[in-house]
């Protein structure tokens, strides 16, 4: 069986014709995917929605409803509870090693709740980061305008001095 050192190009190269002279000759890209789709056997969606803990099959340990949640209080509470369960896990591993599975499951539920609470804060974090970046850009642009004004005044002063020197000669 003969093999080529370099395989032939794929058949769709013909779609691009004379791209260097006519860039418009290339086919347009496919439209973006909208809605649910399957990739490597897993279902995904293009909707940017955080699934609830119930949809993920995890018990929610903090109150339901976004407008009644005190994120700081709930995160601290879950963090303390996580620390307590980790200490209990260490105790169980020393005294009753066969009963560790329940503690590990409890720790997993607490960690998933912490993770979900933090992920629900991501839009607020993104908004605050964007505001900060825009404020920095405004500050830099104002500084650049001030620098330009200062240099313009300096250039006008130099031109005025040069004009005075030329007139005195």
Cβ atoms of 99 and 89 closer than 8 Å: no
pLDDT top residue among 71 and 66: 71
Cβ atoms of 52 and 65 closer than 8 Å: no
**Which of 45-59, 69-83, 139-153, 154-168 bottoms out in mean pLDDT, i.e. has the lowest?**
45-59
Q: What is the pLDDT of residue 66?
A: 62
DSSP 6: S
31 to each of 12, 13, 28, 109, 114, how far by Cα in Å? 18, 20, 9, 39, 37
**Which of 17-31, 46-60, 92-106, 153-167 bottoms out in mean pLDDT, i.e. has the lowest?**
17-31
3-state SS, residue 150: helix
Q: What is the pLDDT of residue 112?
A: 96
Token pair 């002063």 in the structure block, residue: 157
Q: Would the pLDDT of 45 be above 60?
A: yes
For the segment 118-151, what is each residue's pLDDT rounded down to a tens digit? 999 999 999 999 999 999 999 999 999 999 999 9
| Antiparallel, parallel or unpaired: β 42-45 and 36-39 | antiparallel
Q: What is the pLDDT of residue 142?
A: 97
The domain ranges of the chain are 52-121
Cβ atoms of 73 and 61 closer than 8 Å: no
Rounded CA-CA distance 54/60 in Å is 7
Q: What is the pLDDT of residue 2?
A: 66
């Amino acid at each position: 069986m003969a093999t080529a050192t370099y395989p032939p190009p794929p058949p769709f190269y013909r779609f691009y014709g004379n791209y260097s002279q006519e860039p418009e000759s290339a086919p347009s890209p496919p439209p973006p995917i909208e809605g649910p789709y399957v990739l490597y056997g897993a279902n995904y969606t293009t909707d940017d929605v955080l699934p609830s803990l119930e949809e993920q099959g995890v018990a929610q340990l903090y109150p339901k409803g976004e407008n009644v949640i005190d994120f700081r209080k709930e995160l601290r509470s879950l963090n303390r509870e996580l620390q307590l369960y980790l200490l209990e896990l260490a105790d169980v591993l020393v005294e009753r090693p066969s009963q560790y599975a329940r503690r590990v499951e409890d720790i997993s539920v607490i960690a998933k709740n912490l993770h979900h609470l933090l992920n629900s804060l991501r839009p607020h974090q993104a908004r605050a980061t964007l505001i900060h970046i825009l404020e920095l850009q405004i500050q830099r642009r104002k500084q650049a305008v001030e620098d330009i004004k200062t240099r313009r005044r300096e250039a006008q002063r130099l031109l005025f001095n040069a004009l005075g020197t030329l007139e005195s000669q």
